[in-house]
Structure 1
Amino acid sequence: MTHIDPPFVSDGSTAEEEVESLLPRRSAAVDPEDDETSERAYEYDEKVVVVGVSDVGGAAFDGPPPPFSWRKLWLFTGPGFLMSIAFLDPGNLEGDLQAGAVAGFSLLWLLLSATAMGLMIQMLSARLGVATGRHLAELCREEYPKWAMLALWLMAEVALIGADIQEVIGSAIAIKILSGGVFPLWTGVIVTAFDCFIFLFLENYGVRKLEAFFAFLIATMAISFTWMFGEAKPSGKELLIGLLVPKLSSKTINQAVGIVGCVIMPHNVFLHSALVQSRAIDPNKKSHVQEALRYYTLESTAALIISFLINLFVTTVFAKGFYGTEEADLIGLENAGNYLQVKYGGGLFPILYIWGIGLLAAGQSSTITGTYAGQFIMGGFLNLRLKKWIRSIITRSFAIIPTIFVALFFDTSDSALDILNQWLNVLQSVQIPFALIPLLTMVSKERIMGAFKIGPIYQALTWVIAALLITINGYLLIDFLSFGIQGMLLGSIICAIIAMYMTFIIYLILHGTQYSSR
């Protein structure tokens, strides 16, 4: 199989049009249906033109990265904002509102810390994609035995389906709110099923058009939840204390675990390593990689600052309105808008509909990025070369079909829907090790990363974070399963599943350790 390196262009006084004319188009260079061409050919028909560090025409000179440029930052901006959407999906919003209602302002410090940990993990994913020219799913296919690779693929697909069910239901709830109840959940699910065609339509016009669409959705969320924040008028003093003074009690431990567990989404780890390859850089040139990582770090940090502020606004709105009240434990994603409407009233624009607009933007953006991630996961692990519309239908069907049944069954039961969301959070949380461990293993390998492998201090720090996340999510799993387990047979089955789960995690860690010695 022939490997085709991504094209690059150079710095200097050359006009952008001339530079772009010298850049080979991916669609012209390879045939996506040809088995002899790279399986990555279909991922980006046309890369975004960025200014490199070599002379036009591909001179061999590889000097230091050029100085910072706002224009270059703009050209690199996009992948980090698509990545940040996973921090704003309906599952995260539900975690935010429950944390605010039950714990008040006391867990804001944890939200900040979890976002910082998420940024560190996502930058490792970006580093892997830029330095190798391949994404995490492709590398897993190459670096693990077939049985382990298939197990990792299955875990990634299960996590993605769980996330997509939450996201589709979030969109359906928003449609139900905005339609005044005219459209039930199952109708909203069917409407949401067609958003993958929006993705295909925009992608045909270039990756920048797709990124602009996501920027619009993020802006919609930011405006909606900022409006809600302004309506609630939370205490600035309490907000600062919550951010700066760590507090944790036995009553808020579940909300704390939920905040941390929602930050790292397994499919997002796979996605970011692929998104960064939408820019035309040469991974074989150290200065190109250094320059790309510099700009990706800046744009990803900016994106996660915005996502943190949105999550902060949601948490503080519900902290101000419902902390210490009888209904605090009853608020979930579906009834949150009604509680907000009763608490804060109509105002210039009913807060119920403001919530609905923000929730719809969150659900739509995250479902489309979920479809995007599904394409990379399936193509990378299984080395499938399918047409985009076929892959989109396959990946979306995995989530839409079970979601329709969920919507039909839970449409009239808020409490049942909240329980389902808790199960889905657990389902995604327990998949985190199967994305984190391969990522941390590979970014630590000189054979894979070359000069861009992470150093021992960075390795130790990231493994501590991974161990913390695995421990927290292990607690969430055990705590959740401890309710309702009756009978020796069921208990034995659950113990056997947990034993297999832990055995596979230990295998992945040991495989990485043995691999590093070669």
Structure 2
Amino acid sequence: MNPPLYSKEANSDHHYSADVNDEEASLVDTADKSFYTSGRDGTEDPSPKSLNSSSENDTYFAENKITIPDDGGSYAFSFRKLWAFTGPGFLMSIAYLDPGNIESDLQSGFHARYSLLWILLCATLLGLLLQRLSARLGVVTGMHLAEVCYRKYPTLPRILLWIMVEIAIIGSDMQEVIGTAIAFNLLSNGKIPLYAGVLITITDTFVFLFLDKYGLRKLEAFFGFLITVMAITFGFEFFTAPVRAGDIAFGLFVPTCKYCDDQATLQAVGIIGAIIMPHNLYLHSALVKSREVDNTKKEKVKEANMYYFIEATVALMLSFVINLFVVCVFAEGLSGKTNIEINEKCGDRNIKVNYSHVFPEDDEVIADMDIYKGGVFLGCQYGAVALYIWAIGILASGQSSTMTGTYAGQFAMEGFLNIKWARWKRVLFTRSIAIMPTLSIAVFKGVYDLTGMNDLLNVLMSLQLPFALIPVLTFTSNRSLMHDFSNGLIAKIICMVLAVTVIGINLFFVVTYIPQLPQHWAMYCLVGFVMTSYLIFVIYLGIICLYNVGFTIFDQIPEFNWLFLKNNHELEITTIASADNGF
């Protein structure tokens, strides 16, 4: 059996070389494949490719990879090559535009006006860094993040990680169901009730799933179309509203919070959970496998990493602009306004949606905002066209995010559990769980309870983020796995600081929400147990990450192998320092 991928033996003489000949490259490729497929018990695990051997269960690109043009062997920048690599980054960027993000955007604008734009910008840039690491892992190793976790973590932590990722995917799916149901309600002037909109989402997703039967590029083009719809619809609202360019620039580049109160502060820390989606890191590392890249040749890998980073940068900057549109629209027009003021405008516009229960005839200052109330406000302020355009944007957001969430779930299940499921089964599994609480609230409560779930679900995303962030940092910092493409010092520091910050934010959320829970000893015991378990697991993953990053102090702890590496020699992590490759 080959030495473990993490072992010191495996690290020696096992690296990329820019000047290897074809025969040597072939031998390295063969060795790599045996490394990647050897099981912990000495048997052969199915290789990443064999995980998708059945046409019924193939991930969307398994039999339809895009060939990268050679351009005469030149590695100079080429728009032709960039176009060939374009696709995965835009699919990934859809998670930055889901209904949960739109809800977070409008609340940021409503509560703090332009003051939180700098946090939105920073969160997007941090997301870009993490997406780059995720894509790099997929390109260099030929495996996506869940597959690497399957091979490198012991069984129990691996199963727990899978559960955390599934929770994040289901939570995201609930947001998409909520957004889609509200969009149908607004587009039909309330004739399609919320519960009916929720039920419609069961069928529409299955219809969209058949799109990939028409080819990978057509599927990617469809996602590009949905992003374009969001850019046009939310851009229309932006240019219709009387936004202030000076205030936008100040909010983007001056880290302050002029209009912040307690609610705005909560919204500020919630932006990170809304923007950086944990399952998106697993998704992106898999999507980059859709291109034919010879990862035995250093220059080919370097080239792929460059083009994927350029594409991801363009895609995330576009998503940032769309999010910016939404924040700015709601930063103006509602500040200090009363219900009766907006109600009168609704009457003047003669919109068909029942607005009296949204903005009643009283003198109370408007205290909150959500995607449903936001749509009604736009209709009252700028006319029915603005309401319908807003609803179309929300519908595009919900549908596109549902599709990418389905792929993320399929990659996670195949990678973590080595289980092959047809996509329709995967959709049925996720949507069945997501739809039950959503449908119950739609039937027995109302639109405000439904949209209010988005805030809690954004908190859930933030709580799950360490379970993607820490594994990404762990594996991309390991030189025996990533070779010359392992993380440099700067990337390690930024990711570790981000991980600590996210964990601190999560603890802040928990402490903030505890007083809102039922005051009962059983509830306190439950919360205490869940948070203690959460912290123990995060610390466990963090210690392995630190060891992988290069903290040799653990070598001097006799119990370390017994506590963390018992019966799992593949997890023995080399401490040979990687070259400082910057990011």
- TM-score tier after normalising by the smaller chain length: 0.7 to 0.9
**Which residue is equivalent to 1:221?**
230
Query: Counterpart amino acid of 1:373?
Result: A
Unmatched 5+ stretches in structure 1? 2-33, 56-64
Residues 412-435 of structure 1, C-alpha deviations (whole Å, 9 max, x = no match): 341x22432222222221111111
Query: Counterpart amino acid of 1:505?
Result: V
Quickly say closer, same or farther: Cα 1:493–1:201, change in 2 above 3 A. closer
- Report matched runs for 1:118-517 at 5 Å: 118-248=127-257, 249-251=260-262, 252-326=264-338, 327-346=365-384, 350-410=385-445, 412-414=446-448, 416-515=449-548, 517=573
Matched, 1:113 2:122: yes
Computing the radius of gyration over CA atoms, which structure comes out larger, 1 or 2?
2
Q: CA deviation at 1:401?
A: 4.0
Quickly say closer, same or farther: Cα 1:260–1:513, change in 2 above 3 A. closer
Say if 2:173 and 2:430, in contact at 8 Å, map to a contact too.
no
Residues 270-306 of structure 1, C-alpha deviations (whole Å, 9 max, x = no match): 1000011111111222111111111111111111111
Distance, in Å, in 1 between the alignment partners of 2:367 and 2:136 is: 41
Say if 1:52 and 1:288, in contact at 8 Å, map to a contact too.
no
> Which region of structure 1 is more displaced relative to structure 2, 489-498 or 103-112?
489-498
**Which residue is equivalent to 2:103?**
94
Say if 1:203 and 1:209, in contact at 8 Å, map to a contact too.
yes
Matched, 1:50 2:68: yes
Residues 432-479 of structure 1, C-alpha deviations (whole Å, 9 max, x = no match): 111111111110001221211111222111211222222223312321
Q: CA deviation at 1:329?
A: 2.7
Unmatched 5+ stretches in structure 2? 2-44, 339-364, 550-572, 575-583
Residues 242-264 of structure 1, C-alpha deviations (whole Å, 9 max, x = no match): 11211124432111112122111
Say if 2:270 and 2:462, in contact at 8 Å, map to a contact too.
no
Residues 53-93 of structure 1, C-alpha deviations (whole Å, 9 max, x = no match): 897xxxxxxxxx61000011111111111111111000000
2:438 counterpart SS class: helix
Distance, in Å, in 2 between the alignment partners of 1:238 and 1:171 is: 32
Residues 157-202 of structure 1, C-alpha deviations (whole Å, 9 max, x = no match): 0111011001111011101110111111222122222233344321
> Which region of structure 1 is more displaced relative to structure 2, 479-488 or 422-431?
479-488
Quickly say closer, same or farther: Cα 1:379–1:487, change in 2 above 3 A. same
Quickly say closer, same or farther: Cα 1:328–1:300, change in 2 above 3 A. farther
Q: CA deviation at 1:396?
A: 3.3
Residues 20-73 of structure 1, C-alpha deviations (whole Å, 9 max, x = no match): xxxxxxxxxxxxxx9787114422221011124897xxxxxxxxx610000111
- Percent of pairs with identical residues: 48
Say if 2:134 and 2:281, in contact at 8 Å, map to a contact too.
yes
Query: Counterpart amino acid of 2:458?
Result: N
Root-mean-square deviation over aligned CA pairs: 2.1
Say if 2:477 and 2:548, in contact at 8 Å, map to a contact too.
no
Quickly say closer, same or farther: Cα 1:493–1:389, change in 2 above 3 A. closer
> Which region of structure 1 is more displaced relative to structure 2, 131-140 or 378-387?
378-387
Residues 294-351 of structure 1, C-alpha deviations (whole Å, 9 max, x = no match): 11111111111111111101000000121333555321122211122222334xxx21
2:516 counterpart SS class: coil
Query: Counterpart amino acid of 2:296?
Result: N
Distance, in Å, in 1 between the alignment partners of 2:501 and 2:408 is: 25
Distance, in Å, in 2 between the alignment partners of 1:315 and 1:356 is: 16
Distance, in Å, in 2 between the alignment partners of 1:325 and 1:102 is: 12
Quickly say closer, same or farther: Cα 1:53–1:149, change in 2 above 3 A. farther
Paired residues, number: 472
**Which residue is equivalent to 2:354?**
none
Say if 1:103 and 1:323, in contact at 8 Å, map to a contact too.
no
> Which region of structure 1 is more displaced relative to structure 2, 34-43 or 379-388?
34-43
Distance, in Å, in 2 between the alignment partners of 1:133 and 1:199 is: 28
Quickly say closer, same or farther: Cα 1:457–1:162, change in 2 above 3 A. same
1:45 counterpart SS class: coil
Quickly say closer, same or farther: Cα 1:502–1:205, change in 2 above 3 A. same
Quickly say closer, same or farther: Cα 1:503–1:354, change in 2 above 3 A. same
Distance, in Å, in 1 between the alignment partners of 2:117 and 2:234 is: 16
Say if 1:101 and 1:329, in contact at 8 Å, map to a contact too.
no
Say if 1:196 and 1:396, in contact at 8 Å, map to a contact too.
no
